[in-house]
Structure 1
Amino acid sequence: MLCETFEYRHQARTPATYLALGAAIASAYLVHNLDLPQLHQLLALLFVGVVLWRIAINPIRGFRLSDGGLEFFEGHYRRKVPLAEVASVTVYQPVGDTTRCVLNLRSGDRLALPGAERFGTRRLVAEFAGLGLPVLI
């Protein structure tokens, strides 16, 4: 059965991060040109450094679900789980909280799905059921 890929990915390299980089560089430039105290210059350079560090390491959080399996992204940690290894999927939403999704593997391991809070329980149940996986609610 061929179906389209269901994916959620959040990463640090976004337009907002590049806008923050521009603001950081502009503030460092102004602080330097206005001859403000060295503490202000240090803080401005620290701001530039933090934004550049976030862009450089680009932490990614999310998942990709397809016929080939499930792929997790959590920072620099990546894991691919074939669908044959998934015994069932538990999808729930505690009262007043966000959606949670846990994969129950045949090995007995349980994996939390990063990024599941972005979707409602119905959407996740439909996506996993569409691939023929048992879903526990």
Structure 2
Amino acid sequence: MLSEIFEYRDQARTPATYLALGAAMASAYLVHNLSLPHLHQLLAVLFVGVVLWRIADNPIRGFRLSQDGLDFFEGRYRRQIALGDIASVTVYEARGEGTRCILNLRSGDRLSLPGAHRFGTRRLVAEFGGLGLPILI
């Protein structure tokens, strides 16, 4: 079922973040030009700073599944897992949380796959099963 790469990625650099940056810069400009109190100016500059920090830091959360293995990333944490290191994959539907996917590694570690809620159980079972990995449902 895996054609090339099966991937889920969520990051801070989105059109909404850049829209927030524009709004922050416009508000800082207006606050400064209207000569509002220094507290308002400070708050406007802090707003710009927070949005710029979020864009610069760009925390990424997700995974990439390919024939070579699985790349797992959450914030600054990155891990590459060879398919041979995965003992089994547990896929289930959690009430109120959507689909959950747990990687059971041969080392005994268990990793919860970020973004599994975006896909149905059938899709995840098909993608992992297509690579010959044992699936626990």
TM-score, scaled relative to structure 2? 0.96
Residue 77 of structure 2 corresponds to 77
What does residue range 12-91 of structure 1 map to in structure 2 within 5 Å?
A: 12-91=12-91
SS at match of 2:94: coil
Residue 117 of structure 1 corresponds to 117
SS at match of 1:35: coil
Using the TM superposition, name which of 107-116 and 24-33 deviates more: 107-116
CA contact (8 A) 1:62 1:115 kept: yes
SS at match of 1:126: helix
For residues 90 and 63 of structure 1, the distance between their equivalents in structure 2, rounded to whole angstroms, comes to: 16
Using the TM superposition, name which of 109-118 and 78-87 deviates more: 109-118
> How many residues are paired up?
136
RMSD over aligned Cα atoms = 1.0
Gaps of 5+ in 2: none
1:58-77 deviations in whole A, cap 9, x for unaligned?
00000000000000110011
For residues 59 and 16 of structure 2, the distance between their equivalents in structure 1, rounded to whole angstroms, comes to: 15
SS at match of 2:133: coil
SS at match of 2:125: helix
For residues 69 and 18 of structure 2, the distance between their equivalents in structure 1, rounded to whole angstroms, comes to: 33
1:66-101 deviations in whole A, cap 9, x for unaligned?
000000110011100000000100011122322111
AA of the residue aligned to 2:127 = E
Residue 95 of structure 2 corresponds to 95
Identical amino acids, percent of aligned pairs: 79
AA of the residue aligned to 1:32 = H
For residues 80 and 89 of structure 1, the distance between their equivalents in structure 2, rounded to whole angstroms, comes to: 16
For residues 119 and 3 of structure 2, the distance between their equivalents in structure 1, rounded to whole angstroms, comes to: 19
For residues 71 and 97 of structure 2, the distance between their equivalents in structure 1, rounded to whole angstroms, comes to: 25
For residues 104 and 27 of structure 1, the distance between their equivalents in structure 2, rounded to whole angstroms, comes to: 49
SS at match of 2:41: helix
For residues 57 and 71 of structure 1, the distance between their equivalents in structure 2, rounded to whole angstroms, comes to: 20
